[in-house]
Chains A and B, each alone.
Chain A
Amino acid sequence: MQQAHGAQGDPLTLNADLVGRTYPPTAPYVVGREKVREFASAIGDANPAYTDVAAAQALGYSDVIAPPTFAFVVSYAGTALAAADPDLGLDYSRVVHGEQRFAYTRPIVAGDALVAKATIEAIRAVAGNDILTTRVDLETEDGDPVVSTVTVIVARGTAEEDS
């Protein structure tokens, strides 16, 4: 963004007009049983609900369920839509993950086809860092809510100087 770069007394380099902007739903992410098993294995989590269909069914689910933070794997495509919005002006090369929140209507289940709907919730500048808060709602293709996620990303140092 040209308008605010280096401007004295205006540390906000991101375009605050984008607060409230929503993005079109992503193409459906189809949750695969083997992907869930791979993810559970990668985090070392042996809970049988993630790998054993019978164990998951004994808990009342139709198939294996995904570990709670698997939702981020799906929601990230929505976050990226916002973060890469050319109108925003975020220097993506300097971004770190500041905060993450999940609110579950139900666990993600193998076989789900999930769309991610992103909204920019907040844009701030704190101590020289640009901070972007994006909410991404994961829903079935029929619009049933599954999990709502909030991702806060921090672009280090971008609000005090531009290289």
Chain B
Amino acid sequence: MMRPAVGRTMRGMAIAIAILAAIDPVFTIARGGRPLVAVVAADVPRDSAATARAIASLRSEATVVAGAFGGADATVIVGESLPLSAMESAAPVFAVVPEAARLVIATATAPRATTLDAVIPVNVSVANVSGVSVEVALLSGGIEVDRTTVAASADTHRATLELHAAASDTGVQTLRVVAAPGTPNAVAADIAVNVGARRWNVLFYDARPSWSSRFVRMAVERDPRFAVAGRTVTSRAYVSDAGSPPSSVEDDARLRDYDAVVVGGSGSLSDKAVQGLERYMRLRGGSVVLLMDDLPAAGASPIGSPIVRLTGAAGWSVREAAEPTQITAVEWHGRKLRATQVASPDRSPAGMTVIAQSRLEKPVEPKSVAGKSAPARDTMPRAALWATSIGAGRLVVSGALDAWRYRDSTWSNFDRVWQDVVADAAARAPEPVTVSVPPALHPNDPATVRVSLRDVGLRAGDVSSGLVATRGSVSAAIVSAAGSRTPLRLWPAGSIGDFEAALHAPAESGAYHIEATSGADRASASFVVSRSAVLPAGAGRAALTAWTEGTGGKVITATQLGGLADAIRGAIRFAPRAEPWHPMRSPWWILPFALLLSAEWYLRRRRGLA
């Protein structure tokens, strides 16, 4: 009676399969066959389709995780830029890039902080421009406020342009730059700007009454971005003050409150005053704007003359013109000063940066004051405004001796030019505490926050002040729009006075700022967290290639996806890992289950039992 037994055996086996499937036993085995690969899209909107194709090409060969994963055996970045999240893993990185380089916004920079009394310039650099020109728009709060079309360089296919936005309220202003808007190649970058109400403190110090300084001061006083104080030494024992200025520029403690010091009557500065200004620039990082009224006396010793001491330029000459000449600079966008007398150093002092030049139509005879032979009659452009670095500070020198005579708006843009020059000088002066953070982040993105303490760093770096033990405290926190604070742990960075903190962007989208405090000084920097936030591509493909190759990976194009799995296998050596194994979860068990039951039923039918 073998057949009944065979049938019962078959049935029993089928039942056993079913019971085992219900139990679903698990075993731990060491697997070495499938690498774990993380696939990250560099730009989610643009690269999502290519990312899906990459995932599909890898599924058969590897265990794929969509998104950055620190424990992956390899990371595949799809796109043309290097996302921050992909840099967390130490595993080899492979890049899948489009065949043709796509339009990218390489850089988009704007002032970190501004006020309501100024417009926000946004400097944009666009790379991989196909065609002659590219259109770029600037959106503020989702509304387009500026747009321009710019020609691209024929050889580098890059275009650089400037757009402008105006702040309507204080707080964090989010801006978005879009290149080629409304086209399939459109690409964007987000920026955050902190709009505040801080005014620059500027001190006008005249060692003697000076027309030049007076009119520059009047121009700066008319600008609401500045809080101006002034002291004019009218005679040996008497001064004329505006506001509450320090008694002299030797008062370091009072002077540190000012972002810029404008000096008039510079020929009458005392040695102590010069030393005070030097300390101001070196130990405070402040900016000094020197308005020359006259030249150093002929044959003046470099040590004795305050102008020579400050500027480092020993020989000077004045070029006089019968008609007022234009003094212009590219950055002034067509604005100009005029002067008939322009003093400039005979030889460029070390570190000299020319801000503005004067040009003559007719050659004239320049007069040399230092007794040296004057150069021949020339129409060469001369440095009328120039700058140099003194320590961490900046010295701006104006050789336009009589520009104040031509300050009328029909002659020049006197007021606006000097407002911009002093604003630039004041903006360069570091605040007691500075904070920097990337302007836009995706939720949970890693980032680094940097905090600098000015006084600690500059004193420590200044050899002349000697080894001074400096105490200080600093703390930082992330502050949300609702006011909730999350402390950040700061660690010393490379230089004295510099600190860093590791930050993971909050999971909730919104505007945040980092607030850093040191004693009575505080500073903040804003950033925006958004899923759709787009950062400038930066170096773009070049950075991606460098990172990829540095990690032992490879860059392939989107058409070579078929070789991606092999490339990964060839590059990685992953250790077999213990993995749970569920043998009964295989769908193939259906086959024997069905065959066994079918066979048993067939036999029963043959016997007439079914």
- Bound together: no
Could you list which residues of chain B lie within 8 angstroms of chain A, going by C-beta atoms?
none
